[in-house]
Structure 1
Amino acid sequence: MASRGFFSVILHAFVFATVVTLGFSQLSPNYYDYSCPNALRTIKSVVEAAVQKENRMGASLLRLHFHDCFVNGCDGSILLDSSPIIDSEKNARQNNQSARGFEVVDEIKQAVDAACGKPVVSCADILAVVARDSVVALGGPTWEVKLGRRDSTTASRAAAEANIPLPTLSLSELITSFRIHGLDEKDLVVLSGGHTIGFAHCATFRGHIYNDSNIDPNFAQYLQSICPQNGGDENLAPLDSTTANFDVAYYSNLVQKKALLHSDQELFNGGSTDALVKQYSYNTQAFFADFRNSMIKLGNIQPLTGHQGEIRVNCRKVNC
């Protein structure tokens, strides 16, 4: 029985790797070169305007792509509103009241379709590109986004709640959560670096600042002035000390025990990821290089390609 169980695990891993590889093999950075050569330029201009208007929007757009890919693959399912046949992922506890940027995606979709003359670019591809362009707009690295994803016709709130990591997870739980999606410990540390931009609600870090011991006491006291033990769930605090800049301050904060979230401080808490956090805290070049690679891996999680799914006319609902 034990050997049969081990074989089942190996088979599952092989099938997952095969699905990811086959999907990725059909993606190309030149996918829209002929059907809509102005697509990427159009997306970039809208993203830059949105981030310039509100720095927080860059973090929101990056988070949408991350949360989308962690549910049923990078298929744009997070953008679907609730309907009689859709239980929207927007209502999952990890997204409700915190996932933002949907209006910007709508604006991009309209602008791109106008530039293309018809709906050519998928909402899933838009999310992948805006994640990159948002990071660049805030001073971070760029990378080549392979395109050709198609949009899902379903969404699952239950799957979102089961797969998107919670801010209360331990290091071992985080490692498992990422491994399920084909991402390793290094990807975990690198992609968590996306928290160098943006804010979090009081409800997500209250437990850390009142109950955990692995936090700088002065930092905890400061955060307690923002986030009381009762009430104030929607109050915001920055995820790192330079929230408008994509840099390595996030990792420096972890080393100083000044992480906002419990799950972030778990990356530097005497465990297997400490050394990598310490390296990134003083080596921007290494972080940027590894962030590029991990974002490419993230965007490669089970994309719909070929004749799978559809190209949505409206990112918020499936085509009629």
Structure 2
Amino acid sequence: MARAKSSTMALALGLLVMTLVGECYGQCGDNFKVGYYDGKCGKVNVEAIVFQVVKKHFNEDKDTIADLIRLQFHDCFVRGCDASILLEGEDTEKTARNNLSVDGYDIIEDAKVALDKYCPGVVSCADIIVLAARAATYLGGAEWYAVETGRKDGRTSLASDAKQLPRRDIPIPAAVDLFASFGLDTHDFVYLLGCHTVGTAHCENIEDRLYNFNGGADPTMNSDLASSLKMKCPRNANSTEEAFLDQTYGSEFVLDNAYFKRIIEGKGILKVDQELALDPLTKDIVIQTAADETIFRTRIGPSMRKMGLIGVLTEGEVRIGTCKKVR
């Protein structure tokens, strides 16, 4: 599995997002709650099965952390958390240009197959994504957090809908507004972007900061970092190389606050990373998180949980046997 890629995302300000925010949170009773699957798959602990599958992949490939966190983001920010990104076929979300570098599909499929051996068609692919991302977040060093389950799987998946994902160069104020429209506040935005601490970016997504400022690097980028990145990503080289978004040695696969420390030092790789430390809307949160190593570790979980409430379907189908096609 390739390293998790930075989000090459596209912005559509005309989102119909208010209808997608988890409106059934606290109102769905037994249809959507923590522990929804208790007793619904015989004596099998559904959440434990998902965790075991994720841990197996994690032991083989540490990119599993970033892959699954990013997969949840790309699913939930398009049509809500309905596993529509998993559907295969012509012109599905999975085929959209800004989803081509998304990974982790095989992990979700492995969990689905494992669960359907015990209780076919009971556990939704949408829930597996959220449970798997929770497991990955924990394995990355963050605090464990509870998640609601009971989601149903969507039947519609359109590549054109992926245009709703934010661009990697989205201005911070626009990003804050976009996240707010999904029910996520500024702190959530900062912490979720902080997951770049375990991500990477392709050279093609970095070159604009290295060469497009009168032929030189973005002046907000640390000069030593710029020189190092230019060696990895030569101008117009069509390089397939990647760079860690957090280049703190030993921290590449750990959900810690090293990313926040680096962007304060001008060592953000993507434009949005660096601007997070400079914009008045987010600067203070970045400084606080960089100064206290417990903040990110304890608060990324609740922000992931809130993201999992976007566009929840509590009526409809649960895919059976595979997450790749509708029932």
**One fold, TM greater than 0.5?**
yes
Q: Aligned residue for 1:6?
A: none
For residue 284 of structure 1, report the CA deviation from its aligned partner: 2.1
Paired with 1:180 and 1:134, the residues of 2 have a C-alpha distance of 26
Q: Provide, for residues 45-80 of structure 1, a one-character-per-residue CA deviation record: whole Å limited to 9, x for no partner.
A: 111111111111211111000110001110001111
Please state if 1:284 is matched with 2:293: yes
Paired with 2:305 and 2:136, the residues of 1 have a C-alpha distance of 15
Please state if 1:231 is matched with 2:237: yes
Please state if 1:19 is matched with 2:35: no
Paired with 1:90 and 1:292, the residues of 2 have a C-alpha distance of 26
Match of 2:93 among 89, 97, 102: 89
- Counting only pairs closer than 5 Å after superposition, residues 29-108 of structure 1 correspond to structure 2 as 29-36=34-41, 37-83=44-90, 87-96=91-100, 98-108=101-111
Paired with 1:18 and 1:246, the residues of 2 have a C-alpha distance of 26
What is the TM-score with the length of structure 1 in the denominator? 0.88
Paired with 1:77 and 1:191, the residues of 2 have a C-alpha distance of 21
Q: From the superposition, tell whether residues 15 and 63 of structure 1 become closer, same or farther in structure 2 (CA, over 3 Å).
A: closer
Paired with 2:313 and 2:279, the residues of 1 have a C-alpha distance of 39
Counterpart residue identity of residue 91, structure 1: T
Preserved contact between residue 125 and residue 318 of structure 2 (Cα < 8 Å): no
Q: Aligned residue for 2:207?
A: 206
Preserved contact between residue 142 and residue 301 of structure 2 (Cα < 8 Å): no
Q: Provide, for residues 179-210 of structure 1, a one-character-per-residue CA deviation record: whole Å limited to 9, x for no partner.
A: 22121211110111111112221122221233
Counterpart residue identity of residue 76, structure 1: A
What is the TM-score with the length of structure 2 in the denominator? 0.86
Instruction: Structure 2: state its 5+ residue gaps.
Output: 1-15, 213-217
Q: Aligned residue for 1:273?
A: 282
Match of 1:159 among 118, 140, 161: 161
- Report how many aligned residue pairs link the two structures: 301
Please state if 1:187 is matched with 2:196: no
Q: From the superposition, tell whether residues 299 and 15 of structure 1 become closer, same or farther in structure 2 (CA, over 3 Å).
A: closer
Q: Aligned residue for 1:168?
A: 169
For residue 23 of structure 1, report the CA deviation from its aligned partner: 6.8
Please state if 1:111 is matched with 2:118: no
Q: Aligned residue for 1:257?
A: 266
Q: Secondary structure at the match of 1:71?
A: coil
Q: Secondary structure at the match of 2:262?
A: helix
For residue 176 of structure 1, report the CA deviation from its aligned partner: 2.4
Which moved further from structure 2: 310-319 or 18-27? 18-27
For residue 122 of structure 1, report the CA deviation from its aligned partner: 0.6
- Sequence identity, in percent? 33
Paired with 1:22 and 1:33, the residues of 2 have a C-alpha distance of 18
Preserved contact between residue 151 and residue 312 of structure 1 (Cα < 8 Å): no
Q: From the superposition, tell whether residues 91 and 213 of structure 1 become closer, same or farther in structure 2 (CA, over 3 Å).
A: farther
Q: Aligned residue for 1:313?
A: 321
For residue 39 of structure 1, report the CA deviation from its aligned partner: 1.3
Q: Provide, for residues 128-173 of structure 1, a one-character-per-residue CA deviation record: whole Å limited to 9, x for no partner.
A: 0111101111212210011001100011211112x21221111122
Q: From the superposition, tell whether residues 313 and 113 of structure 1 become closer, same or farther in structure 2 (CA, over 3 Å).
A: same
Paired with 1:125 and 1:300, the residues of 2 have a C-alpha distance of 11
Q: Aligned residue for 2:221?
A: 215
